Chains A and B, each alone.
Chain A
């Protein structure tokens, strides 16, 4: 039986396939087909030459949802709000993150004012009805939606997180009377308070829904046409999968599906290597993304913002998203000088076209990849499996712009570029580790993306991680990660309660209600037997008076209120330097994660046959290391390295999709799965 994971990226559509019985793993790559994205998926399945009838699992991810929003190509969307509040979407939060820009430009709302309608109804913060829902107000709205050819409608009433009845009733009427229109009620997507954030989330869900529905519909029939009959799963942003049917109703939960898959891959690598704590880093052409996995669990938050940076607030999306920090630094990042004459690297990237100067495809700006070539890390004749010959001369010519301006050599300029890009990656890595209260010494750094293994040695050393792991196929890590995902749903219940007035039985009751809800929802998808469902329990707590809380995991069988409080005080001090033992503690939100445990693929061990240290050895190359200076490194072919191989840095390990750099003073070990482990001597 085959498991298939399909990932659509900007340039390539990747397929990773895995045979559950033999442990065979293979990859297929095909150009992404923007006009009809499903074609690229079908192409890769054709390339894999596996028998469609033998496919037992298919999971799909990619950038479809985020691209629709980024390119503003969503459906014609309307919003219905509580009377008096239709402008909340446009008012947003009123903040000006670009402090000193007196020409501040605010993000325009996704729904224009003319398509924002109001209905009389009102409940208060405790969910009590203050004004009945005037369904008759919908008549003129429906008429207008018809005449304006509205394709999607979001509904957002005040305090619907506490009392969703009015929204639900309104949605039912719209679905009945406008059957062609996609309808999203905010409480169906999120049950958290803050009206603007919830409205924006509902609006974005509605905005992408018609497109995602059609897309998944076409993919379903294309897959059926070639004879794949298994249930189809979509990769969600929370690191789990959901059925296509569920995803069609909640498409906004797919917003970071690709990166979430990568983090999930990090979880699996950690598990295979017995490293429950992982810092995951993916370096692509334009960006680097990182995330932490603690005790085998990726961190999931609902604080995600789309198009957000230091100067822009962006659009909040309150769905569970794996906590990823993304920065504009990758292989294609361009080195440049700012107005003060200071050297900067990124966020502008040469991308794949024209690409770095050394691609000789017309790029003339110095990039990180050029710097890696100049310093001897990259092999000009073995890039992308030798399909693209890198031009050292062009790289040098581009880098000379940096060198001349700083009055240093081209080699020194290349080192400066690498140091700068490494520094910004270190900041991102620290943000997800140290700044969130983790000690990197307890973590393994798992790297993916074409560029990850090249930078990992320096980054891991500076961060002080216990080891660095380079898994198989680092260049296809997202698709690989999807292979091992499990159906997952998150359920939350906000229920404010002081610690002194809650007993452990109240906590158990609350969680068992959430558990029932989860069982019903997941059964509707796939009918798992109850013993296949695993539950995780977490509680958000805070000191009375605080708004933000700290999440504490709970072992529901053995938990006591005192134990939970002890964990909370400890966690608060770890993250925020202090505890307030005298201050009352408040229970805020109860979080249940339901995971349907499906059989995990077991990777095959690499065999020693045909592999040996001698066979792998390709030669020697001088490498200019940013911190350690110039060293001659042994060059090895990864696919010929035998299990249990060990060697001391400096080393270069080449493979078709990536290059791994082991620094002087570091030790390499190859495990029996073919993963590379790098540790400090």
Chain B
């Protein structure tokens, strides 16, 4: 995969760096497959160690992290089931280190990086990278990236929704050394402790990340002791080559052509305007280019993402297209190219704020998805209420006598597919195997009370032969004085799109009840709340797929019985008539549906 900055190198793209190596294989494929399995187990173990030793709830409960292993060139070989938008950045992180420390990377070094403009995502996502040496030669790099609860900046949690420059979002580490040839760099640890609001928690999380890359080193040494490092390297090549082959075949099977999608970013935290974004997907033979050049320039608020985030966002959708099930590695992305000039909302340059970068990457992923969905319906669903819908609640917990920061992504309704209804309440595309907070754990750890947690039945979903999945309503009451709220929800104006005649889904928003006044918002500057004040987070439902009038009437009736839709909605959206006594009126349904279909035909001028 390449990222092409069209402003820097307009016309001629450089020759693709890696060509497939064809030639004698000294090692049999069965051994290589065995090593592949061991590498996946290694990546999983890194994740287990990180989750079980971390100190931030956002890591151990929400699992806001990813781990993996790259070859000496930085190509991803194996990764945990984690956050998709992190794993796509591994290669970029390694690349930065290789350039910065060319010829100086030594055994025992461990590096730290969180620079959004060079491989990172936002400042909270801190990458720990350990080069692994076998016989004094670099075998590869182990990486863990985890979301730290706080990295400084203007507000606890480091996610002010109204930031206008990166300096308000915290401290930036540009590939610094935490360990130099095995020696702990105490001054770095002191610098970290002095610049974050929750030093014990952040250093605890740092320890967990260090443990996870050390476990990787230990396992890699065992692997090389058994099979020899030459064979292990051969396995890396094998993994990448076989995946590339699969990926190219999948792209080649698609018709050449140009596919486009447009969408809107709803507000940026500073303005409530809608900002246009666009992708053009070009398929030529076994290669695919995603061109975001016509998207709006970078925004004043923090919903921008950097070029690294954009690449990673596109990788998620590309992987979904070529081979959704298999474990990911760099080979899959060789046929993929991303094009955009520097300085767009998806390729922000310093000092643009990027704290809420997942709003940008989420949009980028969804644009690519929207452009490809009609072409490959078997791989995609209709639009989802695609925003991480993150809420930050921070303040001082009088009972514990400590600062608290709750960073919480909300789950959304997903779009329907041609096979079934959309999934209700699952993590947005930017995330992945991430969890909601357990309410019981949350009430025990934070000065908050949960008033309710249920499906967003009121907001509804896109109707269709298969309907969208439901979003969620989560409501908190504040218990501590002066609790700060920072929240930024996307998809608050433009509804999730339907597919193949399905209806659009519903929007995300939050509602604040403070001082007897109720107001609704989506991206708001920081607000101070008092005990008794409430915050209600509402996420939308996904788009439908197929004409709602073709949804089997008994299925619509069951949805009414389960309270997913009302009898009125059944009639208005689906043409299904339910008697006042609560039984399905099949005759009236047939008649009503005939009439509605006829009317639709007339309206369409047929």
Q: What residues of chain B lie closer than 8 Å to A619, measured between beta carbons?
A: none
- A419 on the B face (CB < 8 A): yes
CB distance from B292 to the nearest CB of A (A): 19
Would you call B453 and A545 a contact (CB within 8 A)? Answer: no
Distance in angstroms between the alpha carbons of A430 and B432 in the assembled complex:
27
CB distance from A109 to the nearest CB of B (A): 10
- B434 on the A face (CB < 8 A): yes
Distance in angstroms between the alpha carbons of A100 and B34 in the assembled complex:
24
Q: What residues of chain A lie closer than 8 Å to B317, measured between beta carbons?
A: 102
Q: What residues of chain A lie closer than 8 Å to B426, measured between beta carbons?
A: 94-96, 104, 106
Would you call B455 and A91 a contact (CB within 8 A)? Answer: yes
- B316 on the A face (CB < 8 A): yes
Would you call A545 and B204 a contact (CB within 8 A)? Answer: yes
Would you call B414 and A547 a contact (CB within 8 A)? Answer: no
CB distance from B380 to the nearest CB of A (A): 5
Would you call B435 and A93 a contact (CB within 8 A)? Answer: yes
Chain B: which residue is nearest A549 at the CB level? B52
CB distance from A426 to the nearest CB of B (A): 8
Chain B: which residue is nearest A125 at the CB level? B444
Q: What residues of chain A lie closer than 8 Å to B380, measured between beta carbons?
A: 102-103
Would you call B440 and A94 a contact (CB within 8 A)? Answer: no
- A580 on the B face (CB < 8 A): yes
- A681 on the B face (CB < 8 A): no
CB distance from A366 to the nearest CB of B (A): 14
- A616 on the B face (CB < 8 A): no
Would you call B453 and A548 a contact (CB within 8 A)? Answer: no
Chain A: which residue is nearest B428 at the CB level? A96
- A76 on the B face (CB < 8 A): no
Would you call A100 and B427 a contact (CB within 8 A)? Answer: no
Interface residues of A in 402-445 (CB under 8 A from B): 406, 416, 419-420, 423-424, 427, 430-431, 435
Distance in angstroms between the alpha carbons of A85 and B268 in the assembled complex:
33
- A491 on the B face (CB < 8 A): no
Would you call B81 and A124 a contact (CB within 8 A)? Answer: no
Bits for B416-445, please: 1 = Cβ < 8 Å to A, else 0.
010110011111010111111011110110
Would you call A112 and B562 a contact (CB within 8 A)? Answer: yes
Distance in angstroms between the alpha carbons of A95 and B81 in the assembled complex:
11
Would you call A545 and B324 a contact (CB within 8 A)? Answer: no
Would you call A84 and B451 a contact (CB within 8 A)? Answer: yes
Q: What residues of chain B lie closer than 8 Å to A113, measured between beta carbons?
A: 455, 562-564
Q: What residues of chain A lie closer than 8 Å to B469, measured between beta carbons?
A: 106
Interface centre among A86, A193, A194, A545 (most CB of B within 10 A): A545
Would you call B411 and A416 a contact (CB within 8 A)? Answer: no
CB distance from B206 to the nearest CB of A (A): 11
Q: What residues of chain B lie closer than 8 Å to A95, measured between beta carbons?
A: 63, 426-427, 432-435
Distance in angstroms between the alpha carbons of A91 and B438 in the assembled complex:
11
Q: A105-B423, A113-B563 are in contact. Are A194 and B441 (CB under 8 A)?
A: yes
Q: What residues of chain B lie closer than 8 Å to A85, measured between beta carbons?
A: 439, 452-454
- B320 on the A face (CB < 8 A): yes
Would you call A545 and B201 a contact (CB within 8 A)? Answer: yes
- B38 on the A face (CB < 8 A): yes
**How many A residues touch the partner, as a band?**
35 or more
Q: A106-B426, A340-B246, A547-B57 are in contact. Are A91 and B433 (CB under 8 A)?
A: no
Would you call A340 and B433 a contact (CB within 8 A)? Answer: no
CB distance from A32 to the nearest CB of B (A): 34
- A20 on the B face (CB < 8 A): no
Bits for A76-106, please: 1 = Cβ < 8 Å to B, else 0.
0000000011111011111111111111111
Q: What residues of chain B lie closer than 8 Å to A669, measured between beta carbons?
A: none
Would you call A548 and B60 a contact (CB within 8 A)? Answer: yes
Q: What residues of chain A lie closer than 8 Å to B63, measured between beta carbons?
A: 95
Would you call A99 and B30 a contact (CB within 8 A)? Answer: no
Chain B: which residue is nearest A86 at the CB level? B454
Would you call A102 and B424 a contact (CB within 8 A)? Answer: no
Q: What residues of chain A lie closer than 8 Å to B414, measured between beta carbons?
A: 104
Would you call B443 and A124 a contact (CB within 8 A)? Answer: yes
Bits for B312-356, please: 1 = Cβ < 8 Å to A, else 0.
000011011001110010000000000000000000000000000
Interface centre among A103, A104, A580 (most CB of B within 10 A): A103
- A343 on the B face (CB < 8 A): yes
Distance in angstroms between the alpha carbons of A548 and B47 in the assembled complex:
13
- A614 on the B face (CB < 8 A): no
Interface centre among A158, A572, A576 (most CB of B within 10 A): A576
Would you call B200 and A580 a contact (CB within 8 A)? Answer: no
- A161 on the B face (CB < 8 A): yes
Q: A85-B454, A420-B33, A546-B60 are in contact. Are A193 and B441 (CB under 8 A)?
A: yes
Chain B: which residue is nearest A102 at the CB level? B320
Would you call B53 and A576 a contact (CB within 8 A)? Answer: yes
Would you call A103 and B453 a contact (CB within 8 A)? Answer: no
Distance in angstroms between the alpha carbons of A583 and B425 in the assembled complex:
38
- B271 on the A face (CB < 8 A): no
- A609 on the B face (CB < 8 A): no
Would you call A94 and B320 a contact (CB within 8 A)? Answer: no
| Set B201, B420, B438, B450: member contacting A194, Cβ < 8 A | B438
CB distance from A78 to the nearest CB of B (A): 13
Distance in angstroms between the alpha carbons of A233 and B52 in the assembled complex:
37
Interface residues of A in 384-398 (CB under 8 A from B): none
Would you call A99 and B243 a contact (CB within 8 A)? Answer: no
Closest CB pairs A-B (n = 9): A94-B411, A84-B452, A545-B55, A125-B444, A113-B562, A99-B432, A87-B454, A423-B34, A548-B52
What are 23 A-B residue pairs whose CB atoms fall within 8 Å in the complex?
A88-B453, A91-B411, A91-B424, A92-B425, A93-B436, A94-B411, A95-B435, A96-B426, A96-B434, A98-B325, A99-B316, A103-B379, A103-B419, A112-B562, A114-B561, A194-B441, A195-B438, A340-B246, A342-B33, A427-B37, A547-B61, A578-B207, A580-B204
* Further 5 A-B residue pairs, CB within 8 A, beyond A100-B323, A580-B207: A95-B427, A102-B317, A159-B443, A420-B33, A546-B52
